[in-house]
Structure 1
Amino acid sequence: MTAHYDARETREQAAREADLFARLPEVLRAAMAAPAYAERLKGFDPAAVTSRAALAGLPLLRKSELPAMHKASAPFGGFVAGAPGSFARLFTSPGPIFEPEGRQADPWRGARALFAAGFRPDDIVLNTFSYHLTPGGFIFDASARALGCAVIPAGPGNTEQQFELIEAYRPVGYSGTPDFLKILLDAAAAANRDVSSIKRALVSGAAFPPSLQAEIKARGVDAYQAFGTADLGLIAFETEARQGMVVNEDLILEIVKPGTGDPVADSDVGEIVVTSLDPHHPWIRLALGDLTAALPGRSPCGRTNLRIKGWMGRADQTTKVKGMFVRPEQIADIGRRHPALGRLRLVVTRERETDAMTLRVETAAASDALRDEIAATLRAVTKLGGTVELVGPGSLPNDGKVIADER
């Protein structure tokens, strides 16, 4: 039994980067055939975008902006060149955001995530993600079938009928949320039903804390996590090394400072930005609003792609202070105006029944004059007054937060 899905997973990272950025210009040309990308990328030469530095010069597309764009220009906001009928399936997610499924094999790039979790051809998989309108069920269904598995399209709920299917078909694998896996195991134990055939699982869509991981493991199921979205499919996944998540192939993943498109320093927490090399439905610098950090070195499992810590919270920390929105982009602007500063964090509290702001700033050159300058910049940028607290370098947590609402 091979340890890896294919040889691409173990190639040198330099070779992977060269391949990705050799293919990127053509993907950019395909993207710019769609009117929204043509407008956003006007003035950029696709042939010149052949490095991470060049890619970082392109504008971000924030996922939080998509619902308004899709509403204004249905169904895909002008970001897809092909007609809806050229795709295999058409979905919607809350927002609404409309997502097409391509006609190619494994359109959501999930087969290698299942393989890393121990699934193999001819396995039977109980898929409990929803098949109704949203793409979750079909993402894992298509991925399992691309791997050569047979799929029970169970969806969530209706545990009694699921027990009948499990006892008849004896699936070895489960895909779904970790919460529903626990519900299924608990209900089976209470009803004295046999679900012992399920030995492995790929879970996503909800938190999977260590306590639940231990409980699921103790009940005989080896469960792995995957991180993905309805837009992009599977982005990163756990392997047998259990040391972070390996980024999927055919994606360029960046980690940027919240509120900017600028790369973070090595190992710093930042926002996940993904560029997909699918010429039929490319995403160019899609900022997901999710936080993570890169892990140094290679995975002990032998896969050589970038590893991330997994989901570490939300990057969209916009909050309202005294009736006005304060955004991460504004805190980033303050940092740009004072480039000698380290990390910045705006802490929002309540004092005497009114909102209060304190901007905590890392600096090695604290002075009253600097504090006053930053306070003036804070007011100029946010149109709100606040206190500035100067702290030493490395004092603020490396958690990606630039706005902490503590009210």
Structure 2
Amino acid sequence: MSGLDPRETRSADAREADQVAQLKRQLTPDAAEQITSLADLAKLPVLRKSELSKAQAEHPPFGGIATKGITRLFQSPGPIYEPGGEGADWWRFASALRAANIGANDVIQNTFSYHFTPAGAMFESAAIAVGAQVFAAGPGQTELQVRAAHDLGVTAYAGTPDYLGAILAKADEMDVDLSRITKALVSGGPLFPAVRQGYADRGIACLQCYGTADVGHIAYETVADAPMIVDEGAIVEIVTPGTGDPVAPGEIGEVLVTPLNPDYPLVRFATGDLSAVVTGLSDCGRTNMRLAGWKGRADQATKIKGMFVRPEQVASLVGRHPEIARARIEVTHDGQRDQMLVKLETQATDETVFEAAIREVLKLNGAIQLVAPGSLPRDGVVIADLR
């Protein structure tokens, strides 16, 4: 365990007590009164990207969220505006770099974008925090990337999983030796096993991490192909898409993140990503929650018979009938028109009692199938487009 942040190896009780204390300091007084444990977060509303974008349009630039110490401003598609603050490692990616063994003896080629979005600044801030030197490359101009990597003695790469391969292929084409690169930390896209193995065959140990422009670092690998460990500065919940209701451990659901950042206190931010909690502890000695990695998108909005149906509507349908434990919509096409089947987990035996609510909430008619409690898949899918 040498070299680990002491927070990464603490007990679950000690972590929760510390996180609750930090959380309460960045909540409004009314919200803070409701929180005595992390489970109490479920009492607070979910913040979705669409809501944040709307709030920012009405109350620019950050939607009325109280900020402090903001030194940098960014824009992501939407548009959504994100702040950056003072101090080293403001977005908390240093833990991922340390896990990738990147530190004071490294020169890291940062190919994340420095234009509009904060990714470049995120990784640069973290690299400086761990003592590495940073070549602020950004993406593109691959031939120049190769020359610079060679001339500057680059030892580590940060960027999307595929772009490192493009740099190495161009180096081979140019007959330039980049064998000093032995470490890589990637994000922003899937790291396929064959890609990781290809890097390993060249002597490059490649790990991945997960974060967003809004909340910063969320989770990171410490061992290749192992579950990702949640960052100590983030509280992560896995909930049924379209709701704020936690799922059981191991079930797939939407990732909500509450970063412990009083400079920009987002609460229960819905990332739109699906994942699941992996039980047990990592072999690396870190004790925090583990995530199964990216399992798809939670925004399953689907156009049926010309109208969009969204997970929030499915959640509203379930909320109207306490006897419904879970719902799943399956969409098919019979060659002429869309067909909607609404599957309801319930002990009820008369589907007609749900017809009015389905028409009112979903704005569509559809077939209803009552299924036994526990029989629907726990895969995070509430609207399955089978067309």
Smaller-chain TM-score bracket: over 0.9
Q: Partner of 2:332: helix, strand, or coil?
A: strand
233-242 or 391-400, which moves further after superposition?
A: 391-400
Shift of 1:318: 1.4
Give CA deviations for 1:120-154 in whole Å, capped at 9, x if unaligned. 22311011111112111110011000011000111
Q: Residue 43 of structure 2 aligns to a residue in which SS?
A: coil
Q: Which amino acid aligns with 1:27?
A: Q
Q: Report what 1:389 is aligned to.
A: 369
Whether the aligned pair in 1 keeps the contact of 2:219 and 2:228 (CA below 8 Å) is yes
**Cα deviations by residue, 1:339-375 (Å, 9 ceiling, x for unpaired):** 4444421011222422220112345x474x2x33334
Identity across the alignment (%): 49
Match of residue 191 from structure 1: 174
Runs of 4+ in 1 over 6 A off after TM superposition: none
Deviation, 1:66, is: 2.2
> Are 2:255 and 1:255 equivalent residues in the alignment?
no
Matched, 1:154 2:137: yes
The root-mean-square deviation of aligned C-alpha atoms, in Å, is: 1.9
Decide whether aligned partners of structure 1 residues 352 and 376 sit closer, same or farther in structure 2, where only a CA change above 3 A counts: farther
Q: What is the identity, as a one-letter code, of the residue corresponding to 2:261?
A: D
SS of equivalent residue, structure 2 residue 117: coil
Residue ranges of structure 2 left out of the alignment (5+ in a row): none
Return the alpha-carbon distance in structure 2 between the equivalents of residues 101 and 137 of structure 1: 12
- Report 1:65-144 matches (<5 A): 65-82=51-68, 86-144=69-127
- Aligned-partner SS, 1:56: helix
- Contact between 1:4 and 1:116, CA under 8 Å: does it hold in 2? no
Cα deviation, residue 49, structure 1: 1.5
Aligned to 1:290, what secondary structure does the other structure show?
strand
Q: Secondary structure at 2:23's aligned position in 1?
A: helix
Distance 1:81 1:6, change over 3 A: closer
- TM-score, L = length of structure 1: 0.90
2:189 alignment partner, one of 206, 217, 234: 206
| Partner Cα distance (1:61, 1:222) in 2 | 36
Cα distance in structure 2, aligned partners of 1:49 and 1:208: 37
TM-score with structure 2 setting the length: 0.94
Query: How many pairs were matched up?
Result: 387
Per the alignment, residue 14 of structure 2 pairs with 15
Deviates more, 1:72-81 or 1:274-283: 72-81
Secondary structure at the aligned position of 1:95 is classed as: coil
**Secondary structure of the structure 1 residue equivalent to 2:255:** strand
Give the conservation status (yes or no) of the 8 Å contact 2:67–2:262. Answer: no
Cα distance in structure 1, aligned partners of 2:276 and 2:307: 30
- 1:376 offset after TM fit, Å? 3.9
Amino acid at match of 2:49: K
Match of 1:286 among 269, 273, 282: 269
Contact 2:34–2:43, Cα closer than 8 Å, also in 1: no
Does 2:338 match 1:355?
A: yes
Mapped to 2, the partners of 1:191 and 1:389 lie a distance apart of: 62
Q: Distance in 2 between matches of 1:5 and 1:144?
A: 16
Cα displacement (A) at 1:73: 2.0
Distance in 1 of aligned mates of 2:57 and 2:71: 22
AA matched with 2:383: I
What letter matches 2:381 in structure 1?
K
Secondary structure (helix, strand or coil) at the match of 2:73 reads strand
Residue in 1 that maps onto 2:41: 55
- Matches of 1:397 and 1:383, distance apart in 2: 25
Q: Hey, what's the Cα distance between the residues in 2 that align with 1:45 and 1:207?
A: 37
1: CA distance between counterparts of 2:41 and 2:87?
26
Look up the match of 1:37.
none
Q: Secondary structure at the match of 1:194?
A: coil
SS in 2 for 1:175: strand
Q: Is 2:294 the counterpart of 1:311? A: yes
3-state SS of the aligned residue for 1:261? coil
Residue 366 to residue 46, structure 1, CA distance change in 2 (3 Å): closer
SS at match of 1:258: coil
Structure 1: 5+ residue stretches without partners: 33-43
Q: Which amino acid aligns with 2:107?
A: I
Letter in 1 for 2:71: A
1:282-336 per-residue CA deviation (whole Å, 9 max, x = no partner) reads 1111111111100001111110000011111111111222232211122122223
Residue of structure 2 in register with 1:380 after alignment = 360
Distance 1:215 1:342 in 2: 46
Equivalent residue letter for 1:103: E
**1:125, 1:174 within 8 Å by CA — same for their partners in 2?**
yes
